[in-house]
Structure 1
């Protein structure tokens, strides 16, 4: 597993993939802050950190995962169309799991950069009286990372079966539409794209549409967090296993 992961890292070492992907958290932060400043309302501007998290969950987190998976598969297709991998005496399931770990590594780095942007935002922009602590913002980023992990094996499988553009479009649009639609409803647990949006609500005190939630709103309940964590981890394990088995089948094609 370690050697497979190391080989994947070497493949992207001389490409622009790393630099391009790690710019996404900063693009997300700048656009979210710019969006708040356009409102001209000091109360809205002071909630810039919370808005960054909201934008991250609504769009950019899914874009980061889809881009990484799509670019990795594109790199393999353009080089040898997976022939090099298939010719090696290796366990293909472990090879696919190493690619899953590589993408997770990118998401971890992206999340850490987002936390850095959040911290800088809190330093430079005066917060509102209703603003949540920075620790809650950081916890929200961590929980969103865990509850969106299932997208990694899904996007790897989808980009291999279709192409880069379909994966990027489908993953981001389903997240933007299904996630935002179902996250504030009682059926949130049934839609995977709503899990990471729902867990951030009690922590950021923002609705999935970016509007501050009133006190005592039912969406502020922390009871959804353990449920989302359990179902997302189980779903991630199931999808990773299925994706690895699917990758193993290309050996006979």
Structure 2
């Protein structure tokens, strides 16, 4: 499996996909900086509410286009290799890229906190970044499947659009756990103390209850595993068109 991962990572050497690892968090930090003293809270809000879902969708599209654009996956389907492992390696490489971007974001948020007056504790920034990474993993195999079936417009519109519509409808309700697009936003409330709209949560609010954190983690890992298995089996049955 390691060889598959190394081969997949090598494909993107010098590509814009690799540059996005740095570009996405920098753009987020610039948006956050425009809000002054609310830099840290708004940087997180911009990241998990808009930029990260779009970033994951674009990564999936670029991963698909790397194989699809010129040879329509003939270079992959024609080799004596496990297509399931190829798919899993693509997903895992994107997971690694996404995690690296989250780490870069955390460094920027921590450093920026020393410049602005309102500071989120270092430990909470680290916990928030780890949880955002974990609870966003499931989007990667989903978006890669959407990119393969529907292309860029389908992947971006469905993933980002679902966050705005489905996530907003459920995140502040008792049924938040039903919608995957509300998981990250909901568990950020007790971790950061801010609501998805960027406002500070009131003391004593039920939204600050930390019991949602393990629920969100477990649901996210289960969904990621299921989507990875289902999409890997689907890709393993693909043939050259």
Confirm or deny a common fold (TM above 0.5).
Answer: yes
CA–CA distance in 1 between the matches of 2:70 and 2:14? 14
Partner of 1:61: 52
Q: How does 1:30-49 map to 2 (within 5 A)?
A: 30-34=30-34, 36-37=35-36, 45=37, 47-49=38-40
Match of 1:66, SS state, is: helix
TM, length-normalised to structure 1: 0.91
Q: Which moved more, 1:86-95 or 1:134-143?
A: 134-143
Counterpart in 2 of 1:219? 207
Pick the aligned partner of 1:119 from 92, 95, 110.
Answer: 110
Per the alignment, residue 94 of structure 1 pairs with 85
The Cα shift of 1:21 comes to 3.9
Query: Of 162, 172, 192, which residue of structure 1 is paired with 2:180?
Result: 192
Q: 1:41 is matched with which residue?
A: none
1:242 Cα offset (Å): 0.4
Gaps of 5+ in 1: 38-44
Quick one: distance in 2 between partners of 1:17 and 1:72? 8
Deviation at 1:61, TM superposition (A): 1.3
d(CA) in 1 for partners of 2:134 and 2:20?
A: 23
Residues 202, 222 of structure 1: 8 Å contact kept: yes
Does residue 181 in structure 1 map to residue 169 in structure 2? Answer: yes
Residue of structure 2 equivalent to 1:40: none
Provide the rounded CA distance (Å) in 2 between the counterparts of 1:133 and 1:237. 32
Checking the alignment, whether the CA contact within 8 Å between 1:74 and 1:164 is kept in structure 2 is no
Return the alpha-carbon distance in structure 2 between the equivalents of residues 125 and 61 of structure 1. Answer: 24
Deviation of the 1:208 alpha carbon: 0.9
Instruction: Indicate the residue corresponding to 1:203 in structure 2.
Output: 191
Task: Say if 2:235 is the partner of 1:247.
Answer: yes
1:20 deviation in Å? 3.0
- In structure 1, the residue matched to 2:19 is 19
Counterpart Cα distance in 1 of 2:2 and 2:101 = 22
Q: Which residue of 1 aligns with 2:28?
A: 28
SS at match of 2:230: helix
Q: Tell me the matched-pair count.
A: 241
| Structure 1 partner of 2:148 | 160
Superposition deviation, residue 62 in structure 1: 0.8
Alpha-carbon displacement from aligned partner over 1:64-92 (angstroms, at most 9, x marks no partner): 21111110101111131101100011111
Residue number in structure 2 paired with 1:10? 10
Once superposed, which parts of structure 1, at least 4 consecutive aligned residues long, lie more than 6 Å away? none
**Are 1:50 and 1:204, in contact at CA under 8 Å, matched by a contact in 2?**
yes
- What is the CA–CA distance in structure 2 between the aligned matches of 1:178 and 1:55, rounded to whole Å? 17
| 2:60 is equivalent to residue 51 of structure 1 | no
Structure 2 CA distance, aligned partners of 1:15 and 1:121?
29
1:50–1:137 contact (8 Å) kept in structure 2: no
Instruction: Normalising by structure 2, report the TM-score.
Output: 0.96
